[in-house]
Structure 1
Amino acid sequence: MTVIDFAAFIGRLATSSGDTILPFFRTSLTIDNKQPGRDFDPVTEADRAGEAVMRRLIKASFPQHGIIGEEFGNEREDADYVWVLDPIDGTKSFIAGFPVWGTLIALLHKGTPVFGMMHQPFIGERFSGDNGSASYKGPSGERRLSVRRCTALKEATLFTTSPLLMNDSDRAIFEKVQAEARLTRFGGDCYAYCMLAAGQLDLVIETELKPYDIAALIPIVTGAGGIVTTWEGKPAQSGGRIIAAGDKRVHEAALKILNG
């Protein structure tokens, strides 16, 4: 099967997870901490319910496929086709009532992300990509996504979810890039990568990402003409320290600082 053959099914996953998650948004939620005694890493019944419904659909339709999920672990992760699921990327925004979160759905083929979607059911937006192209569908209609040109780091708008999520060493390095950028803003989680693909910003730098945080976003950014790597310039689908840029010149300039 080709990626096109999976497109309708991925749409079903997005619709089903959105229908499951949305009734929980801006309500009183039971919030658990995945890391008691450490940094606050929240999870809610909405996260678990959203992933559970996607897993059920995948197992019913493609029982031979693998699944990597944030809430319920990994199954058959050595299969040729593997689904990577993050039911709510941006749970901290979700529990605060801000709509800067999304459901991330990625399809890997032999370890490489070949399709990704970010679905925001509250706003009704979907960003998707297959490395070769990327598209947007939402209240304002449908269109192809394309990154914008940015010739130098001094002209770039830089995003990170929060520098407080970085260790001291990585934060100090990030601040060197921040000092060179024209504008730096915080927040966004998955939305920052989608706005990069849409040509609204130029650079996203993060650390300590898991595969389910980034796998779906890679085909969206690259499909729009951007680039996503680790800080070392390696493939990003396994997570870690990640840099995404719309223009290769900005990517190269930031990498030099990150590895300086």
Structure 2
Amino acid sequence: MNEFWTDILTFCQETTKRVGETLVKDFGKIQATRKEDGTLVTKADQWSDGEIRKSIYERFPEHGVLTEETTHIFPDNEWCWIVDPIDGTTNFTRGIPIWGISLGLLYKGTPVFGYVYFPQIQQSYYGYWYGESGLMGPIGAYCNGELIQTSLDSPSQNHLFNFCARSIDVLKNPFPCKVRLIGVASYNILLVASGAALGGVEATPKIWDLAAVWAILQAAGGVFISLSPEPMFPLNIGENYGQRSFPCLTLSRDDLVPVFKPLVDFLGKT
């Protein structure tokens, strides 16, 4: 099994580095168009999507693939990759260097490994989280090969909490931390995993925003809280996840749930 995970990690490192080197050449230089859901897409997103799908099919032909820019139907495969070819397309097109390539590997519908690479700032995050899958292998979460873990601090105005643009109504009431809006769902959550932020909230993320970081955050000691009644995982075979949102709260540890969940719970009902 360890040989399997070594192969998975090497594949992610090599693929995202190769794709990222090309994407950097288009950084801040390419025009975007608006999709039906209001999000942006560029030719770079579509090229990256195609390159990653091709690489997966060649290296792991028995694995399924679900990506932001192509197929949204969850396949009937024991192993499935969920791909966001550019997380942070708005940042990418506007010349803001925080954007990444996200690869989540699911086993029987639940993420067990995630890898996210930010080419412009040269940061690679990955983590292994087996939950109740029965799988065994490496453990922990890492940034550039160094072990990371969530913060043990208590909330204060000297600590950070990350928001998305659609969750700022929370700030109509007093909030226990300083807030940040970075514009990239995966990076917001990885800041929690690395201990830089105590938590974060995402009002309308899609499955490709969350699959990789779901594994990384929990491997680092953090928690994912769904703000909607439906469970986030496992995904259902044959279901179309193109339009489904997964409102969620991410925190550095369990005992912060009673502090923050009441402040953001309404986002799962809108």
TM-score by length of 2: 0.82
TM-score for both structures, normalised by structure 1: 0.85
For 1:168-207, list aligned pairs within 5 A: 172=169, 174-175=170-171, 179-189=174-184, 190-207=186-203
Deviation, 1:208, is 1.3
Contact kept in structure 2, 1:233 and 1:255, CA below 8 Å: no
Q: Secondary structure at the match of 1:212?
A: helix
1:180 counterpart SS class: coil
Change (3 A) 1:259 1:26: closer
Distance 1:233 1:194 in 2: 24
Q: Among 100, 103, 109, which residue is 1:102 paired with?
A: 100
> Could you tell me how far apart the structure 2 residues matched to 1:45 and 1:112 are?
30
User: Which secondary structure does the structure 2 equivalent of 1:30 belong to?
Assistant: coil
Change (3 A) 1:13 1:229: farther
Structure 1 regions of 5+ residues with no counterpart?
none
Counterpart residue number, 2:161: 158
Q: Judge conservation of contact 1:17–1:87 (CA < 8 Å) in 2.
A: no
Aligned residues: 244
Tell me whether 1:133 sits opposite 2:135 in the alignment.
no
Amino acid at match of 1:31: A
Equivalent of residue 83 in structure 1, options 81, 105, 114: 81
User: For the structure 1 residues 202 and 93, does the alpha-carbon distance in structure 2 shift closer, same or farther, using more than 3 Å as the test?
Assistant: same
Correspondences of 1:52-63 after superposition (within 5 Å): 52-63=50-61
Distance in structure 1 (CA, Å) of the matches to 2:23 and 2:73: 23
The separation in 2 between residues aligned to 1:256 and 1:150, in whole angstroms, is 20
Shift of 1:156: 4.6
Counterpart CA distance in 1 for 2:265 and 2:156 is 15
Post-superposition shift, 1:74? 3.7
In structure 2, the partner of 1:216 is: 212
- 2-structure distance, mates of 1:68, 1:60: 15
CA offset at residue 6 of structure 1? 1.6
Instruction: For structure 2, list consecutive stretches of 5 or more residues without a partner in the other structure.
Output: 130-138, 236-244
Kindly indicate whether the alpha-carbon contact (under 8 Å) linking 1:231 and 1:242 is maintained by their aligned counterparts in 2: yes
Partners in 1 of 2:207 and 2:161 — Cα distance?
Answer: 22
Structure 2: how far apart are the matches of 1:89 and 1:111?
21
Question: CA offsets per residue over residues 14-65 of structure 1, 9 Å max, x none?
Answer: 12321332221122x1321112xx74x2111111111111100111122221
Aligned to 2:226: 230
Residue pair 1:156, 1:250 contacting (<8 A) in 2 also: no
Fraction of identical pairs, as percent: 25
Q: Which amino acid aligns with 1:26?
A: G
Distance in 2, Cα, partners of 1:94 & 1:247 = 31
For the residues of structure 2 that align with 1:234 and 1:208, how far apart are their CA atoms?
14
Query: Match of 1:33?
Result: 34
Does residue 1:19 correspond to 2:14, yes or no? no
Is the 1:3–1:115 contact (alpha carbons within 8 Å) kept by the matching residues of 2? Answer: no
Higher strand fraction (1 or 2)? 1
Return closer, same or farther for 1:224/1:248 CA change in 2, 3 Å cut-off. Answer: same
